[in-house]
Amino acid sequence: HPVELSQLRAIVEATAPKQCLEWGSGGSTRELLTSCDFIESYVSVEHDARWHAEVARQVADPRLSLHLIPPDVARPEAGAPQQAIEAWDLAAERDPSMMRSYVGFPRTLQRRFDFVLVDGRARNFCVREGIELLAPSGVLVIHDAQRDEYRETLQRLRRPVWLTPWHQGQLCLIRNS
């Protein structure tokens, strides 16, 4: 939604990160790389092979390092009952074994990031990992922060700020200090 995208752009413009990480590739990947020439490196971790291929097709920026890391426990295929897909999505927020490789991949790069965006699967675990990978004064943003399954994780962190207004998915910002 334009409101959430403008909030994300404002955060990134205000903090001017050089080293960025995101879980969950997509429109924000393209938008931030297109509009923010101060970004030097953008690591994106995606779990879905079809979506990974689409993002790779759409974003040819040499600063992008796009990684496909599939779930450790397979997600039901498209066409499966919606109830099974939703149950898997919720379980991925509670069971660290389901997406362990996806969540843990950025740590293998042995670097810190000025900006971390959590907008994929297993967000509770990605938020916790992302905080650990933040550079001093770095910023972590989670999309869809209004969802009940993320609230407890976010409330345990350093001064979370929920941005308003929002229409499709609320942003929550956490600054490393």
User: d(Cα 136, Cα 33) in Å, to the nearest integer?
Assistant: 22
Which residue positions in the chain have pLDDT lower than 70?
none
Q: What pLDDT score does 118 carry? A: 98
Q: What pLDDT score does 78 carry? A: 83
Q: What pLDDT score does 161 carry? A: 92
